[in-house]
Amino acid sequence: MSHQHIIITGGAGFIGSTLAERLLMQGHRVTAIDNFDDFYEEQLKRENIAPLLERSTFRLIRADIRDYDALLAELTDHYDAIVHLAAKAGVRPSIKNPLVYQQVNVNGTQNLLEVAKVKDIKQFVFGSSSSVYGINPDVPWREDNYVLQPISPYASSKVSGELLGHVYSHLYGIRFLALRFFTVYGPRQRPDLAINKFVRFILEGKEIPVFGDGTTRRDYTYVGDIVKGIEAALRYEDSLYEIVNLGNHNTVSLSELIATIEKVLDKKALINRLPMQPGDVPQTFADIDKARRLFGYQPDTSLEAGITNFVNWYSTKLYVNG
């Protein structure tokens, strides 16, 4: 891929800032859009992108993807691709406030597709989610399983984004690649997510909240592997519309996850058992044959290695801020 100018929405967030850093290192220009949503502390996002702001090839736009006019007013350059990662995140919060999830995740995605249409940006990579599969016992989950029955407003909004992408791909020749991410973790992970929360609470000697009996399973995927998948999607030049799982093809129980964190920290967890939460699915498990075939995607970070990297990052942050 020759040097390009790439828009990343949600560019100050966990995956967005990690991707931006990689693309800048490879000589690309990056324009990051972020509204610094108050879902978690703005300071954490500021820390994610602080080193990037020193680069002349990086630009940060503070804007809300719901504001189409603001997006067009700010995006005055020529761009080769959009990686759309901005979203209201989280299954459980979406049940409490479904309307805002619709506005940000569906209307916001439509606004970005309109930007692509108006500015003739022909490559659009969309951050979708494994949650679109709902409770589907037919594992591992394949992209050609069309009977999607999402069980949360968040999951439903991601299905809507995939379908909108098909409309714009069909009508305007925009190559739209929906990447269904499976439980991404690693350095910079959001503080509300399990691995970040578990590490923090275990180090502080607090009880960790465990929903259910520990048998729920997730296909944990390291952020470095996800970013390599996004990069491959940016290089992809064949069909105009694809939905592709980006997972680890390895499903881990909650009990196994906790045991791995205990091993890396060399400290036992205190557990507070709670009932299963509405909107949570009992397991996620990615079939990644399509990603291998189209992108040459090959995740290679083990859970223990990934958690070790996260703990090292978290410890450095504690040292710097503490």
Report the catalytic residues.
154
pTM (two decimals): 0.96
CA distance 113 to 28: 22
CA distance 210 to 273: 5
Q: In what order do the strands lie in the sheet with 81-84?
A: 58-62, 29-34, 5-9, 81-84, 123-129, 175-181, 241-246
Which pLDDT belongs to residue 322? 52
CA distance 235 to 229: 10
Which pLDDT belongs to residue 90? 87
For the chain (322 residues), the mean pLDDT of every run of 10, in chain order, is: 92 98 98 93 95 97 98 97 96 93 98 98 98 90 86 95 98 98 96 94 95 93 98 97 97 96 97 86 94 98 98 83 56
Owner of token pair 């502390």: 41
Domain locations in the chain as residue ranges? 5-321
Which pLDDT belongs to residue 92? 87
Residue pair 133/148 in contact by the 8 Å Cβ criterion: yes
Residue-wise DSSP of 233-259: HHH--S-SEEEEEES-S--EEHHHHHH
Specify the CATH superfamily of domain 5-321. Answer: NAD(P)-binding Rossmann-like Domain (3.40.50.720)
Residue 8's identity, in one-letter code, is I
Which pLDDT belongs to residue 321? 59
